[in-house]
Amino acid sequence: MTAFAIRGETFAFVADPFAGPPHEAYRHDSDGAVVIENGGIREMGTAADVLARNPGIVVDHYPGHLVLAGFVDCHIHYPQTRVIASYGAQLIDWLNTYTFPAELAFADPGHAAAAAEVFFAEVLRNGTTTVSSYCTVHPQSVDAFFAAASARNLRVAGGKVLMDRNAPAGLTDTPQSAYDDTKALIARWHGKGRNVYAVSPRFAPTSSPEQLEAAGAVWREHPGTLMQTHLNENKDEIAWVRQLFPDAPDYFGVYERFGLTGPGANFGHAIHLTERERVALRESGSGISHCPTSNTFIGSGLFDLAGMREIPVGLATDIGGGSSFSMLATMKAAYEVAQLRGHSLHPVRAFYLASLGSARVLRMDHQIGNLARGFEADVIVLDPRAKPLLAERVGQARSIEDVLFALMILGDDRAVKAVYAAGNRLV
Ligand SMILES: [Zn+2]
């Protein structure tokens, strides 16, 4: 592929904004450029420097637009796209009333393929270039997911949901079939193109101890794959786990016992943590997906972002429990949840969570989530004047940080002007 440049207001991280002052954690060029070659970022800097070094290069020029790394949504359920905005249930009712009936339809490969198309169109429209998605119990739902991602050359993670109890008959497998199916799917998809497999037990209540054992074994046998599940989302759920696993010290302790913790383990929610769990999460190197629109929409609770300290945290929509595909809307919800806990989430930190932070949870922070030389060219272009009120507000902004804040509070898919994945313009 011939090299080309994207020119606009570039924004990139140079440090972790949670480790120090946020204003020292980024580089912003009001007229910057990124050179893309063979799907990767070859160089970046001020437009004047970059264009002088690359005379005659083709330029996609977006004056007055922000150019940044694509968003990374580290916890989502593509089969639940159609149950978004479903009324009146908390977690366990939610699963039984909305989620499980929707997932049953994925036994049909045609349905799964059509759903994956709708899903990726929506994800990309919102500027998200990487997701880590749960599929359903059916291997064909995983095939549909990775096939649709591969057709767009996206870096994604995903995996077959494992459930062998407390779920409808059409959605359950067994410890053995969970192991066998996962192993076969890893062989078929993991490391093919930009696909990464995530071993995906739904959560402790829907897996027997034998199945969690099998999940731990297959994850251990395939280094480089990820593991994703849910943790401490809802108080009734936590009480149920205590009943089902009376010998475990707590919810996280269930996953520890079966070898489902450590780097590459990605726990959704983690709202109601004990101090022991917090320490164990940190010491294990596991990551957390913060899903604020889901947590408020399903009424699960207020995530304690400030209490996570060195635990890697990413930002996620958790569709269909979440109420928006937009990572801008998700940042807004994270800001509101933090406000209700007495802290203000700085916009640079919010954008970090939505990109490099999520990439870190997925162990992809050397590949995606930032604009930097050697990174894969997943790049988005945002229009900070995409709608009248946003334009009015941004007209008053005194800094790039203020522009970012206005975008995350007032922005949505209308602000997404262009999306490039591996250097290909998809939107
Ligand atoms: Zn979820």
Task: Give residue 152 CA to ligand 1 midpoint distance, Å.
Answer: 24
> Alpha helices, DSSP H only, in 307-424?
327-340, 347-352, 358-361, 388-394, 400-410
Side chain identity, residue 40: G
pLDDT of the chain, 427 residues: tens digit per residue: 689 999 999 999 999 999 999 999 999 999 999 999 999 999 999 999 999 999 999 999 999 999 999 999 999 999 999 999 999 888 889 899 999 999 999 999 999 999 999 999 999 999 999 999 999 999 999 999 999 999 999 999 999 999 999 999 999 999 999 999 999 999 999 999 999 999 999 999 999 999 999 999 999 999 999 999 999 999 999 999 999 999 999 999 999 999 999 999 999 999 999 999 999 999 999 999 999 999 999 999 999 999 998 999 999 999 999 999 999 999 999 999 999 999 999 999 999 999 999 999 999 999 999 999 999 999 999 999 999 999 999 999 999 999 999 999 999 999 999 999 999 999 8
pLDDT confidence of residue 1:
65
**Chain centre to alpha carbon of residue 273:** 21
Q: How far is the CA of 238 from the centre of ligand 1 (A)?
A: 15
CB 256 within 8 A of CB 212: no
CA 318 / ligand 1 centre spacing (Å): 5
CA of 18 to the centre of ligand 1 (A): 25
How far is the centre of ligand 1, averaged over its atoms, from the C-alpha of 321 (Å)? 7
Q: Which residue has the tokens 């759903």?
A: 115
